Structure 1
């Protein structure tokens, strides 16, 4: 592989949001389980925050998948580079 192709492949891999979305949703899920298992006053304050983190991650994933599908379809308003 030529150096330019190697750099381009590395940039594509680093620019892919799927791993970050998956890790973020996973961390919020673990945090939700920890909050549920600890209980007490902390649970009442932190549980909505953890659930909101999961929901925002899922919405971000849905938005990314929708934009990628539109880009592959060739829609005019779609983002560029979401192969």
Structure 2
């Protein structure tokens, strides 16, 4: 049997799964939300200068709202997902 297919047909030939990497989600969500805020500022300035329609700014507002909701979720679930990484 070809060794590439051994884990499919013989589960005991599989390598053990790696441990999950612990990531600080707060840093990730803050970075993403900050980028949405920066884009919002740029698109609002372009909209005020009549160079861009309002649509892209509204997409940025949605990104900021989702980012804030994710930060709230992270604060509530922080203890739970940190225990998973141990």
- What is the TM-score normalised by the length of structure 1? 0.64
- Indicate if the aligned counterparts of 2:44 and 2:57 stay in contact, CA closer than 8 A: yes
Cα displacement string for residues 21-46 of structure 1 (whole angstroms, at most 9, x for unaligned residues)? 11111100000000011113623111
| 2:17 corresponds to | none
Structure with higher RCO (Cα < 8 A, 6+ apart): 2
Segments of 5+ residues of structure 1 without an aligned counterpart are 1-10, 72-77
Give aligned pairs, total. Answer: 64
**1:81 paired to 2:86:** no
Query: RMSD of the TM alignment (CA)?
Result: 2.4
Max Rg structure:
2
Higher helix share: 1
